[in-house]
Amino acid sequence: MRYLFRKAEGMITQNGSKSSQLPVQDVMSRNPIVIGIDESVKGAAQLMKEADIGSLVVVDREKDLTGVITEMDIVKEVTSKHLDPEEVDVEEVMSTPVETIEGKRSIKEAAELMANLGIRRLPVRDEKDDMIGIVTENDILEIAPTLIDITREYNRIQRSGEIEKYKEPGKREISGYCESCGVYSDGLVEENGELLCPECR
């Protein structure tokens, strides 16, 4: 399985396989464990421990999706501040608003969204905007092991401003995946519209 890092449009393509185009709903976890906004952080931590998971979907009194609470949220907002988890409500530490993805979207799109937002999980919704599951970084890694790394690398380059170098004249070396052999290299150079490593130029 080989992935190609595409420079200008930030697209990820795949040679010989359609794994990255699988719909999110095919790899997501259905019926994710939820918790109400009025529940305590202690209760949320216990639920995570019992289910051996790192996050919970938070719903309001009408059972609508309103946030996500993770182990990291608890550590940063409660444990590190020496607060009593039994006295802190989930609503006070959850991450909101929640970014979601439609179930028919591809896992490539989910990976790109996670990389752009710096998150590891996405609630999944149907055409009616009803939540039908949750997809995590690990779900995607099981299907397409290198997809997450590639999207993170592209996002890093975008944030650093290096992506503009692609559009400038001259032979500037950058890091990424060779569009000929698919191998990661710190010495990519644009040749005839492709990013090529030293061995493929």
**Predicted confidence (pLDDT) per residue in 106-150, tens digit:** 998 898 888 888 788 899 999 988 899 999 988 888 887 777 666
What does the CA dihedral 12, 13, 14, 17 come to, rounded to 10 degrees? 110
**Predicted confidence (pLDDT) per residue in 57-103, tens digit:** 999 998 899 999 999 899 999 998 999 999 999 999 999 888 999 99
CA triple 79-84-85, angle to 5 deg: 75
Mean pLDDT value of segment 151-175: 53
**Beta-strand pair 101-102/121-125:** parallel
Lowest-confidence range among 29-38, 52-61, 71-80, 192-201?
192-201
Contacts of 21 (CB under 8 A, 6+ apart): 14, 106, 107, 108
Contacts of 121 (CB under 8 A, 6+ apart): 55, 68, 70, 114, 134, 135, 136, 137
For residue 1, pLDDT beyond 60: no
CA triple 195-180-200, angle to 5 deg: 80
Query: What domains are there in the chain, each with its CATH number?
Result: 2-15+161-200 (no CATH), 19-143 (3.10.580.10)
For residue 168, pLDDT beyond 70: no
For residue 169, pLDDT beyond 70: no
Cβ-contact 183, 150 below 8 angstroms: no
Burial class (CB in 10 A: 0-12, 13-18, 19+), 94: buried
Q: How confident is the model at residue 42 (pLDDT cuts 50, 70, 90)?
A: very high
- Chain-centroid distance, C-alpha 2: 20
Cβ-contact 85, 40 below 8 angstroms: yes
